[in-house]
Structures are given as C-alpha cells and as structure tokens.
Amino acid sequence: MSTVLRLASITKSFGSVTANDHVTLELKEGEILALLGENGAGKTTLMNILFGHYAADEGTVKVFGKTLPSGRPRAAIRAGVGMVHQHFTLAGNLSVLDNVMLGSEPLLRVRSRRAEGRARLLALSERFGLSVDPDARVSGLSVGERQRVEILKALYRDARILILDEPTAVLARPEALCLFDTLQSMTRQGLSIIFISHKLNEVMAAADRIAVLRGGRKVAERTNAETSPEELAELMVGSRVTRPKREAHAIGAPRLVAEDVTVHLDSKPALKGVSFTAHAGEILGIVGVSGNGQVALGSLLSGVAAPETGRLTLEGREIGGLGPRALIAEGVGRIPEDRHAEGIVGELPVWENGVLERLATPRFARYGFVRRGAARGHAAGLIKRFDVRGATPEMRIRLLSGGNIQKLILGRVLAAAPKVIIANQPTRGLDEGAIAAVHAELLRAREAGAATILISEDLEEALSLSDRLQAIVGGRLSQPVAAGEADSRRLGLMMAGVWEELGNAV
C-alpha cells in the first residue's frame, strides 16, 4: 500500500508544556490506524496540527507527497483531509443539508445550489451506508445520526483521509458496531482513516495498525495481530493498569428516594412513574441505551427539572423542585454527562472552575468578595490529589484534555464530601488509567457513606461498581437487580425492555 500521509518529527509546545515531542507517523492507503494514549498524551494536538488548527513548532506534514502549509485548515481540506471532532460542530437549528453544505460554496455565489447539494449528499449517503434525512433538523437527531452528518460533511468536501477523534465516546454499542462496519466499507473504497480512541477492545476489532503516544512521544507501534488490550493499556500508561474492585460492605439507610416520579422535557413525558431508592454507602447503577430518559433523570437529580408528579426525597425531606444551588447546599454533588457544556466554563481559569459550585460558602467568599488565595490553594490541592495533568490554577480550563477536565470536576464534587453523588457517564472518553482512577474515587466515596447514582451505558463499568442495578427504557425504570444476580446478558435484555421481574416486555 502506498503512503498517503506522513507526519515527520512533529513538535508542539504550549508554554512550558510539550504536547508533541518529535512524533513521526505514517498512514497507508486503505488503512485504519488507531492512535492511543492517555488523556493529555498529545493525540488531539497532533491531529489538530495535521488538520491545520495548530501550527507545529517543528516538523512537516505531507499529504499524498505534498507538504502542507502550517496552520491552514482550508489547505488540509483541499488536500483531502477531513476531521470529525469529539465534540460535534453542527448548527442545531439548521437542517442536515444546510450543515453539510455550510462553507462549501463561494461567498460571492448569488444562489446556493441546493438541488445539486442534495443529490450529492444522498449519493454519498447511499455509497457509504450513512443514512440521513437531508431535511431533518440537526437538533432533533440522535447522537449517532449527528455523527453520520459530521462524517458526511467531511466526505462532501472530497476527504480521502478521515480523522475521527473519539468517534465512539458518545455512542451506544450497537451504534459503535454500525460505525465500524461503515469505516471498513470506506477503506475498501480507498479511504484512509485515523481514529483516536480509549476503548481498547474496539481498537483491536477495528484497527489494522496501532500507534501509542505517552507524554507527547510515540512510544510504540503495533499491528493488530501482534498485540493485546493488556499490552496496549500498559504501553499507554507506562505500567500495568488494574481497575479497582468493589468489596462487600454494609449498606446504610435509604438516603435518596424517588416515588412514582414523572418528568416532562419540552412538553413531552421523559420520565414515567420512576421509582428507586439509593442507600448510604451504596452505588445504584442505572443502565440503558442512550436516549431512553437518562438526560431527564440527570436533570431531575441535579435540580434542573422538577417532578410533574410523585416525590423525590433526601433523608425524608422533599427536594423535588429545588434548584441546583439548593440541592448542592443539601449535599448533592453532580458529575454531569456533558462536561464541557454543563461542568465547566471554558474561558475561566482552573481555580475558578474548582470552586464554581461552592463560591458562596465562607471558605471562598466573604462580604461579597472572593477569597482568591483560598480558591487558588483549593485548586492546587485538587490538581495534586486527582492527578490533573498539565494543569495550573491560573490556566484556562479549556486548554486541558477532556480526561483531565473530568478529573477536576470529580475532585470538585468529592472534595465537598457530598451525601449523594450523581455520576452521569463519569468515564466517557477517558483512558484506561483515568478510568481506574475515577472508579477508585467513587468506591472510596461509597466506603465513606455516600449514596451514588451511576448512570452509565458501559455494562462492564456498571457491573463492576454497582451494588444494585436498574435498567431505563423509554423513560421507565425496571425493578432493581442485585449485582451478584446480574451479568451482561441479563442487563442487555433489561436494556431491551425485557424485565423478568415484571414477567413481560415494555
């Protein structure tokens, strides 16, 4: 196979932090190359240099034998490079066709050639098996459908090299399997693909070749046949990685209780007669395929949405309808599903994000003035305790990798010693080492007596952490199942709506 891409000795620094240190990488025609590494290892920075978002300090990028100018995305697109970012860049109020065509036509053209664009979009959709409705509004699409739109947007611009940054981080397993079938179809038609991932089993299933970054350097390169998930995890971290195990211990009294709760979002029922009980010192796992009411459940438990009917109580006190500030004051800590949109303010420094939810407490404010010294000291402590790599209290938090942002949010929550923890997809997009660290912290909080609601689409995670599990399907919750009585098969059936406890399917 001919070489379609070569990155030679790429070096990039941000202040005193070296993100890429003389990285050399090649991609062959019709190949799927997986790029692995811990959060903050330099993977996304390297791909942003390839796509022209960043200019390298040293090194060159050659596409189909021609050197690309640094820092020019338009040049990369013209050379045949397309990139699908982990966090989608779509306009929710526009149609699929509008999003795909946006920016692809000359500004001075009097009229958009929508008929031609529609025909081209439908042809690409059929060719690559990426079914979409050109007239559908993007805001109404599922996560998997939005990803298809992002891929089609790149293909519409004649991409022959496709970069996918964490393509399965927000996908349920069936959607991920469908995506990998699509990628295999693309490579058979001559496209070449680089995808960044932390899911080692998916990497082993989909990639032809695997490159591993650690600390900004390329430390290994393997073919699929000559490696294993265990070796890849060790190469990523530099040492053997083992996830902590949940140990049996005494469960306390009921702490957070929902009784027949109904919630509406956008005037539609999103939760329907939901009931559960989370005890002190317990992790209650809520599993389900994306789009079955997890957003509404997270909104309810964090105070963003109020119950239409039913009761939500904390240690016997009614808390349904209290806002987020009141719930935090009551001892509820939340790890939101979307860390960028709901967990941080990207333009603020790390120290401000570290105290955002506790800014009104006497420790961090007095007489209406922020106690900056105390807040900076608190942030420095979070950075050290939770291993937030590359962070300083003064830097803008958006400059951190997604995994390190997640570790700071986790630290912000746990440092307050909450009575209840709402952990919504807490390890989405994290590397194996970071996952192990997050799991260890949640288990420590469990041992300290916190009641935790774990909302997760990862069955392995839910089984390993949870004391009891319930499935969410169509806004309804199954009866709870003890972890010792559950396995992947039974949970899979429950997630499909087959609830043995009810004797039927929903």
Distance of alpha carbon 439 from alpha carbon 434, whole angstroms = 9
Task: Write out pLDDT tens, residues 424-466.
Answer: 989 877 778 888 888 999 999 999 999 999 999 888 889 999 9
Is 49 in contact with 61 (CB distance < 8 Å)? yes
Rounded to an integer, the average pLDDT of 301-315 is 94
What CATH code would you report for 254-505? 3.40.50.300
Comparing CA positions, the residue from 163, 137, 169 lying closest to residue 151 is: 163
Structure token digits, residue 198: 């932390």
Task: Specify the pLDDT at position 108.
Answer: 67
The predicted-structure confidence for 13-44, as pLDDT tens digits, reads as follows 988 888 999 999 999 999 999 999 887 788 88
Per-chain mean pLDDT for the chain: 88
Tens-digit pLDDT profile for residues 358-371: 888 888 988 888 99
Check whether 98 has a pLDDT greater than 80: yes
Distance CA 426, CA 333 (A): 13
User: Domain-by-domain residue ranges, the chain?
Assistant: 3-237, 254-505
The helices-and-strands tally (H runs, E runs) of the chain is: 16, 25
pLDDT at 110 over 70: no
Per-position b or e across 148-161, b if 16+ CB within 10 A of its CB? bbbbbbbbbeebbb
Pairing of strands 217-223, 209-214: antiparallel
Model pLDDT, residue 288: 87
Matching fold, domains 3-237 and 254-505: yes
Residue type, 160: R
| DSSP-derived pairing of the beta strands 332-335 and 420-424 | parallel
∠ CA(186), CA(189), CA(193), 5° rounding?
A: 40
- Please say whether the structural domain 3-237 has been given the CATH code 3.90.1150.10: no
Specify whether the CB–CB gap between 399 and 346 falls below 8 A.
no
Whether 467 and 436 have beta carbons less than 8 Å apart is answered as no
**Positions of E strands within 217-266:** 217-223, 254-265
> Which residue is associated with the tokens 């559908």?
136
Under 8 Å between Cβ of 449 and 255: no
CA 198 → CA 166, 403, 431, 434, distances in Å?
Answer: 8, 11, 5, 10
Distance in angstroms (rounded) separating the CA atoms of residues 19 and 32: 24
